[in-house]
Structure 1
Amino acid sequence: MNTGIDEKEQKFDHDMRQLHATAVSSLSPQTLARLRAARHAAQAAPRRGHAWRWVTATALSAVLAVGLGVQLLPGSGPATEAPPMAAASSDAGYTETLATLDESPDLYVWLASSEAAPLAME
């Protein structure tokens, strides 16, 4: 009757069961009575302090449901119209400056230097 357990595991299991039975039989009746009383007292004790877990879980679920519902409401999504563009003359210089900074490898070399860290901390 091999159920996938090899002989070593079966022998180990048998030995451990025998050792447990020996240990249980060597306990005094007073110790067994105290252990039984402690087990029954632990089972009969009211479980306090767990209500806050249910309240927290319910509140979190409600907040998530409301957040999801607000996002799914019609008209609450992103605007379909493009934002109005600023005048081309006022930000043309700004755009060119940003483009030159993106293309300049000197900026990245300076950012890696020791001068950039103290300036960033100010």
Structure 2
Amino acid sequence: MNIPTGAGRHDPDLHDEAFDRAVRARHAEALRQVPASIHARLRAHRHATANGTASSVSGTGWRLAGLCAAVFALALGLQHFTAPSMPPSTPPPLDEITPVAQVDLAVAALDENPDLYLWLAANDDALPPAPEQ
């Protein structure tokens, strides 16, 4: 599309008018290619929308989606308010734990990491010699 411009100068008003004319011409050409049945359906839909009698299927979908979101939010809220409030479990200070319990805690920490036993099995020299009886 050739848009006329001034001699070496850009005239925005002339450019906008030429562009506007070209777009309107293409729109009119496209409208001539649309079948009459489509024009009738569009006209009927426009008329129904203007009178407020148009049925909106997508509006029903949005209402259903909003209802589902509200139910989900309500379920989460009720779960939060009905959950029993338990104080966070904090271990007692080490000076209050008996020596036997301290050993049990140390053994429990070793039991959680099986890599220690794999390392011990691979490094026999790291173990103290077994007492002979």
Q: TM (normalized to structure 2)?
A: 0.42
Larger RCO (CA under 8 A, 6+ residues apart): 2
Q: TM (normalized to structure 1)?
A: 0.44
Q: Which has the larger radius of gyration?
A: 2
